[in-house]
Amino acid sequence: MPTLVDAFITQVIANSDYTNDDHFYLRNRVLALVGEDGANQTTTLSKIIPLRDALLDLAVANGKVGDLAEERDTLGAELMNFITPVPSVVNRQFWTTYQDSPDQAIQDFYDLSQRNDYIKVAAIAKNIAYTSATKYGDMEITINLSKPEKDPKAIAAAKQAKSSSYPLCQLCMENEGYQGRINHPARANHRIIRMQLGDEEWGFQYSPYAYFNEHSIVLNTQHVPMVISQQTFEQLLAIVDIFPGYFAGSNADLPIVGGSILTHNHYQTGRHEFPMAKAAFESQFTFKDFPDIQAGIVKWPMSVIRLQGTVQSDLVALAEKIRLTWLSYEDPAQDVIAYTGDEPHHTITPIARKRGDVFELDLVLRDNHTSSEHPDGVYHPHKDVQHIKKENIGLIEVMGLAILPPRLKDELAEVEGYLLGKDNKIADYHLPWADEIKKRHDINDQNVAAMVRDEVGQVFARVLEDAGIYKDTAEGKEGFLRFVRSVGLAE
C-alpha cells in the first residue's frame, strides 16, 4: 500500500498539470506543510479529499496546525491549491473554451471548483431539502446544516485575533488565494473568472456553501455598495446572455428587505429554476410606449411584475420606469409608504432569465418601513411565523427557496414528539403552531414527519405573504393594479 503522502501526491498529479517528474518536489512541499513524523504510514484511501483530511489529522498531530475547524480549513485549502491552476491559467482556459462552447467552459470551471473542494460538496450534502405543495406551487425548503456552527474556542480566538481590514469583505477580489485566518475563511484554492459587464470589470465565482444547483456569484471587482439602478437591469440581462441556462438576480439594496452583504455590489446566479420562475401570470397587460413587451402580475405571494421581450434595451427602459415610479409611490390605504422624512423605504428585488430568444425580468416590489405593530418591518415575517423564519427575506427566499436555520432539525423532531403525545422538549414558541396542527389533522407515527414538513412549507408561504406588499385579496389586487396604472398602461 502507498504511504499517505504518496497517495495524496498521486492524486495531485492525476488532477493537475503536474507530472511524475514533480513527485519529489510535491512530496517535500507537502511534508513542509504537514510535518514528517507519521508521513510514511500506509493508507487504503484513494480519493483526494479524504486523503487531504488524513493529512490534516497528521498536521494537527505534528503541531503544524491547530485543531479548530478554521485552522484546519486554512491548511486544507493550501493542500487543495496544489490541484488548482493559478488565476491567469484558469481564466485563459475558461475564455478559450468559451469561444467554442460556453456550456463547456462553465462546466469545466464548476467541476474544478468542486474537485478542489472550494465548493463544499460533502458539507452541502448534510442539508435537509424537500418540496412542499402550496397554493402558489411547490415551495423548496432547506434546513441549512452545511455551515458548521462556531466552536466556542474559535469565537474566543477570533476575539483575541489582531483586527484586519484585508480583505475588506468576503466578496472582494483580494480573497483569491488568501491564506485565511481564524476570523476570515481560507481562500488559497479560490479562483475568480474575470468578465466585462458594460465598461466595468466584474468577477464570476461559485458559492462555497451552495443553496441550489451551480449557485454562483457575479461580483464587482471594486468594493462598492449595492445599489439597484438602471445599470442593474442592464447587467442582469447581460449575465443571462453570457451564461446560458443561468438566472441572475440581486438582493434589494435597503436594510430589512436586502441581503446580508449590502456593502459590496454583487449578483447571485446559477442553473436552477425556482418556484417563482414556474409561476404563471395572474393578469396581463401592456405598458404605454412598450408595445412589444409582454407584462403582467405573477401569481405569487410577493408582489411581482414580470416583463418579457427580445430587446434588452426596451426591457431595461421599462424596468427603470417601473423602479422610478415605485420609489416615490404611496398608497396609505394599502400601508405603502415611500419615505419617513428623508429615509427611503422602496426598492426592487430584480431577477433575470433568458428562455430561448426571450429575456425575462421579474421585478419584486419591496418596502422596508416599520410600525409599532411590526417593529421588525411591516413587510417582514410577522411574529407568529418567526418560530420558523425570522431572518430577512432575501433574493433566494423571494424566489421560493426557504433557507431555514439549523436549530429546526432538532426542534421539529420535538414538535413531532409533541404531536404524537410522546415525551418531548418542544420549544414554547412552537406550541401555538403545533396545537393548530393537532386541530386540523389526524396524526400518527406513519404520517407525522410528512405532516410537519408540509406545515413548514405552509408557514413559508405565509412568510412570503407577509413580505408581499399587495395581498391575495380583492383589495390587495386592486391596490396592485392602481400602482401598475400609475406607471402607465397602453390604451
* pLDDT tens, position by position, 131-177: 999 999 999 999 999 876 654 555 455 555 666 789 999 999 999 99
Spatial distance between the Cα atoms of 340 and 301, rounded to a whole number of angstroms: 26
The closest alpha carbon to 469, from 350, 330, 282, belongs to: 330
E strand segments, 288-383? 294-298, 304-309, 339-340, 343-344, 346-355, 358-367
Q: What percent of the chain has pLDDT over 90?
A: 92
What local confidence, expressed as pLDDT, does residue 147 receive?
73
Any idea what DSSP says for residue 267?
A: E
For the beta carbon of residue 372, count every other beta carbon within 10 angstroms: 5
What local confidence, expressed as pLDDT, does residue 164 receive?
75
**Residue 331 CB-density burial (10 A; 0-12 exposed, 13-18 middle, 19+ buried):** middle
Write out residues in the chain with pLDDT < 70, as ranges: 148-163
Spatial distance between the Cα atoms of 444 and 469, rounded to a whole number of angstroms: 38
Backbone torsions φ then ψ of 13, nearest 5 degrees: -65, -40
Sequence-distant (6+) residues with CB within 8 A of 179 are 74, 78, 186, 187, 188
What local confidence, expressed as pLDDT, does residue 155 receive?
47
**Span 341-400, pLDDT tens digits:** 999 999 999 999 999 999 999 999 999 999 999 999 999 999 999 999 999 999 999 999
What DSSP line would sit under 388-399, residue for residue? T--S---HHHHT
